[in-house]
Amino acid sequence: MTSTASLVHHALEHFFIETPSWGYTDTGTRFGKFHQPAAAINMGDKLADAGQVHRLTGCCPKVATHVLWDFPDLSKASEVAALAAQHGVRIGSINPNVFQDQEYKLGSVANPDEKIRARATKHICDCIDLGKELHSRAVSLWFADGTNYPGQDSIRARKHRFEYALREAHDRLDNDQVLLVEYKPFEPAFYQTDLADWGMAYMMSKIAGPRAKVLVDTGHHYLSQNIEQIVAWLLDENMLGGFHFNDRRYADDDLTLGSIDPYQIFRIFHEIHFYAWERGGVYPQIEYMIDQSHNLKPKIEAMIQTVTTAQELYAKAALVDHEAMVKHQAAGRIIDAELCLKKAFNTDVTAAIAAWRTSHELPVDPLEAHRASGYEAKVAAERSQRRIDLVMSTGSSYA
Amino acid sequence: MTSTASLVHHALEHFFIETPSWGYTDTGTRFGKFHQPAAAINMGDKLADAGQVHRLTGCCPKVATHVLWDFPDLSKASEVAALAAQHGVRIGSINPNVFQDQEYKLGSVANPDEKIRARATKHICDCIDLGKELHSRAVSLWFADGTNYPGQDSIRARKHRFEYALREAHDRLDNDQVLLVEYKPFEPAFYQTDLADWGMAYMMSKIAGPRAKVLVDTGHHYLSQNIEQIVAWLLDENMLGGFHFNDRRYADDDLTLGSIDPYQIFRIFHEIHFYAWERGGVYPQIEYMIDQSHNLKPKIEAMIQTVTTAQELYAKAALVDHEAMVKHQAAGRIIDAELCLKKAFNTDVTAAIAAWRTSHELPVDPLEAHRASGYEAKVAAERSQRRIDLVMSTGSSYA
Amino acid sequence: MTSTASLVHHALEHFFIETPSWGYTDTGTRFGKFHQPAAAINMGDKLADAGQVHRLTGCCPKVATHVLWDFPDLSKASEVAALAAQHGVRIGSINPNVFQDQEYKLGSVANPDEKIRARATKHICDCIDLGKELHSRAVSLWFADGTNYPGQDSIRARKHRFEYALREAHDRLDNDQVLLVEYKPFEPAFYQTDLADWGMAYMMSKIAGPRAKVLVDTGHHYLSQNIEQIVAWLLDENMLGGFHFNDRRYADDDLTLGSIDPYQIFRIFHEIHFYAWERGGVYPQIEYMIDQSHNLKPKIEAMIQTVTTAQELYAKAALVDHEAMVKHQAAGRIIDAELCLKKAFNTDVTAAIAAWRTSHELPVDPLEAHRASGYEAKVAAERSQRRIDLVMSTGSSYA
Amino acid sequence: MTSTASLVHHALEHFFIETPSWGYTDTGTRFGKFHQPAAAINMGDKLADAGQVHRLTGCCPKVATHVLWDFPDLSKASEVAALAAQHGVRIGSINPNVFQDQEYKLGSVANPDEKIRARATKHICDCIDLGKELHSRAVSLWFADGTNYPGQDSIRARKHRFEYALREAHDRLDNDQVLLVEYKPFEPAFYQTDLADWGMAYMMSKIAGPRAKVLVDTGHHYLSQNIEQIVAWLLDENMLGGFHFNDRRYADDDLTLGSIDPYQIFRIFHEIHFYAWERGGVYPQIEYMIDQSHNLKPKIEAMIQTVTTAQELYAKAALVDHEAMVKHQAAGRIIDAELCLKKAFNTDVTAAIAAWRTSHELPVDPLEAHRASGYEAKVAAERSQRRIDLVMSTGSSYA
pLDDT tens by residue, D244-274: 999 999 999 999 999 999 999 999 999 999 9
Within 200-259 of D, beta carbons closer than 8 Å to A belong to 223-224, 226, 249-250, 259
| Nearest by CB: D337 against B152, B157, B331 | B152
**Average per-residue pLDDT in chain C?**
96
Mean pLDDT of C157-179: 98
* pTM of the shown model: 0.98
Q: What type of residue sits at position D48?
A: A
Specify the pLDDT at position B266: 98
Picking from B36, B265, B335, B347 by the largest number of C CB atoms within 10 A of its own CB, the best residue to mutate is: B335
Q: Give the confidence band of B396 by pLDDT, cuts at 50, 70, 90.
A: low
Contacts of B397 in chain A (CB under 8 A): 100, 397, 399
What pLDDT does residue A397 have?
Answer: 62
Q: For residue C397, is pLDDT > 70?
A: no
pLDDT at residue number A394? 74
- pLDDT for D295 equals 82
User: What end-to-end distance do the CA atoms of chain A give, in Å?
Assistant: 54
Q: Between A and D, how many residue pairs show a Cβ–Cβ distance under 8 A?
A: 47
Number of A:C CB contacts under 8 A?
153
Q: Which residue of chain B is at minimal alpha-carbon distance from D148? A: B334
Q: Does the pLDDT of residue B289 top 60, yes or no? A: yes
Taken in order C357, C363, C365, C367, is the CA torsion positive or negative? negative
State pLDDT tens for residues B265-282: 999 999 999 999 999 999
| Interface contact flag, A28 B399, Cβ < 8 Å | yes
Over the stretch B325-359, which tens digit does the pLDDT of each residue have?
A: 999 999 999 999 999 999 999 999 999 999 999 99
Spatial separation of the C-alpha atoms in residues C42 and C24, rounded to whole Å: 10
Q: By the 8 A CB rule, do D268 and B155 touch?
A: no
Q: What percent of chain C has pLDDT over 70?
A: 99
Mean model confidence pLDDT for chain B: 96
D191 to chain C: which residues are within 8 Å by CB?
249, 255, 259-260
Residue D87 has pLDDT above 60, yes or no: yes
β partners of residue B287: B242
pLDDT tens digits, D268-317: 999 999 999 999 999 999 999 999 987 899 999 999 999 999 999 999 99
Quick: pLDDT tens for D376-385: 999 999 999 9
Question: Which whole number is the average pLDDT over D164-175?
Answer: 98
Please determine, for residue D1, whether its predicted confidence score (pLDDT) is greater than 80: no
- The verdict on whether omega for the bond into residue D188 sits within 30 degrees of 0, i.e. cis, is yes
Q: Would the CB atoms of A190 and B150 count as touching at under 8 Å? A: no
Task: Please choose, from the candidates B47, B107, B105, the residue with its C-alpha nearest in 3D space to the C-alpha of residue B71.
Answer: B47
Listed in sequence order, the DSSP H helices in A254-321 are 262-278, 299-317
pLDDT at residue D178 above 60? yes
| pLDDT range class, residue B32, cuts 50, 70, 90 | confident
Give the closest of D106, D144, D255 to C149, CB-based: D255
What per-residue confidence (pLDDT) applies to D150? 98
pLDDT in tens, B238-273: 999 999 999 999 999 999 999 999 999 999 999 999
Report the pLDDT value the prediction gives residue D261, as an integer from 0 to 100. 98
Burial (CB count <10 Å: 0-12, 13-18, 19+), residue C284: middle
Q: Pick from A219, A252, A148, A253: which is nearest to A190 by CA?
A: A148
Residue of C nearest to B348 (CA): C348
Q: C28: which residues sit within 8 A by CB, 6+ positions away? A: C34, C294, C295, C397, D30, D188, D399
Angle between helices B322-331 and B334-346 (to 10 degrees): 160
DSSP H helical ranges for chain C: 3-13, 43-57, 67-70, 77-86, 114-134, 155-172, 198-208, 227-236, 262-278, 299-317, 322-331, 334-346, 350-359, 366-373, 375-389
Does the structure's ipTM exceed the value 0.90?
yes
Task: Find the residue in B nearest to D103 (Cα).
Answer: B332
Q: B99 exposed, middle or buried (CB, 10 Å; 0-12, 13-18, 19+)?
A: buried
Torsions phi, psi of C196, nearest 5? -90, -30
In single-letter form, the type of residue at position D82 comes to A
Determine the distance in angstroms separating the CA of B85 from the nearest CA of chain C, rounded to an integer. Answer: 30
Shortest Cα distance from A331 to chain C (angstroms)? 7
> Using an 8 Å Cβ cutoff, are D284 and D235 in contact?
yes
Query: In chain C, what residues touch D144 (CB-CB under 8 Å)?
Result: 31
Handedness of CA C60, C61, C65, C70 (dihedral sign): positive
How many alpha carbons lie under 13 Å from residue D6 in its C-beta half-sphere?
3
Average pLDDT on C262-277 reads: 98
Beta carbons of D223 and A223 less than 8 Å apart: yes
Give the pLDDT of residue A399.
Answer: 57
Radius of gyration of chain D from its Cα atoms, rounded to whole angstroms: 21
pLDDT tier at A291, thresholds 50, 70, 90:
very high
- Phi then psi for C66, rounded to 5 degrees? -105, 115
Q: Considering only CB atoms, which chain A residues are within 8 Å of D345?
A: 262
- Would you call D99 an interface residue with chain B, using a CB distance cutoff of 8 Å? no
For D13, the enclosing helix (H) or strand (E) is helix D3-13
Question: In A127-152, which positions are buried (b, 16+ CB within 10 angstroms) versus exposed (e)?
Answer: bbbbbbebebbbbbbbbbbbbbbbbb
A332 CA to chain D: closest CA distance, Å? 10
Alpha helices per DSSP H over chain A? 3-13, 43-57, 67-70, 77-86, 114-134, 155-172, 198-208, 227-236, 262-278, 299-317, 322-331, 334-346, 350-359, 366-373, 375-389
Residue D399, pLDDT > 60, answer no
Nearest to B335 among C305, C334, C335 (CB): C305
When pLDDT is averaged across residues B107-133 and rounded to a whole number, the result is: 98
Nearest to A44 by CA among A18, A25, A19, A16: A25
**CA of D231, closest CA in chain B: separation in Å?**
10
Q: Which of residues 138-157 of C touch D (CB under 8 A)?
A: 144, 148-150
According to the model, what pLDDT value does residue C393 have?
77
Q: What residue in D sits closest to B229 (Cα-Cα)?
A: D155
The minimum CA-CA distance between B360 and chain C, rounded to whole Å, is 24
| Whether pLDDT at D34 is above 80 | yes
- Residue D146 falls in which region: left (phi positive, over 0), alpha (psi -120 to 50) or beta: left
Please give the residue that has the higher pLDDT: either C72 or C202. Answer: C202
* Average confidence score pLDDT of chain D: 96
Residues from chain B contacting residue A144 (CB–CB below 8 Å): 31
- Nearest CA distance, B301 vs chain A (angstrom): 14
If one counts every other C-beta atom within 10 angstroms of the C-beta of residue B3, the result is: 10
Is C294's pLDDT higher than 80?
Answer: no
B98, B142, B149: which to substitute to probe chain A, counting the most A Cβ within 10 Å? B149
Q: Rounded CA gap, C375 and B251, in Å?
A: 47
Interface of A with B in 252-291 (CB under 8 A): 253, 255-256, 259-260
> Tell me: the pLDDT tens digits for C55-97?
999 999 999 999 888 998 888 999 999 999 999 999 999 999 9
Closest residue in C to B306 (Cα) is: C335
Of the pLDDT bands very low, low, confident and very high (cuts 50, 70, 90), residue D398 is low
Select the residue of C100, C186, C296 nearest D249 (Cβ to Cβ). C186
D348 touches A: beta carbon within 8 Å: yes
In this structure, the strands spanning B138-141 and B62-66 are unpaired
Question: Considering CB atoms only, which of C34, C191, C259 is closest to D105?
Answer: C34
- Chain A hits for B294, CB-CB cut-off 8 Å, are 148, 190
State the Cα–Cα distance between residues A213 and B55, nearest whole angstrom: 55
Q: For chain C, which chains pass the contact test of at least 3 CB pairs under 8 Å? A: A, B, D
**D338 with B200: Cβ contact below 8 A:** no
> Do residues C165 and C127 make contact, with C-beta atoms less than 8 angstroms apart?
no
Neighbouring chains to B with at least 3 Cβ pairs closer than 8 Å: A, C, D
Domains of chain B by start residue, with CATH: 3-389 (3.20.20.150)
Q: Is the pLDDT of residue B399 over 70?
A: no
pLDDT above 90 (res B360) = yes
The gap from C-alpha B286 to its chain's centroid, in whole angstroms, comes to 11
Whether D397 has a pLDDT exceeding 70, the answer reads no
pLDDT of amino acid D74: 87
| Mutation site for B-interface testing, chosen from C221, C222, C224 by largest number of B Cβ within 10 Å | C224
pLDDT band, residue A1 (cuts 50/70/90): low
Q: Does C106 contact chain A (CB < 8 Å)? A: yes
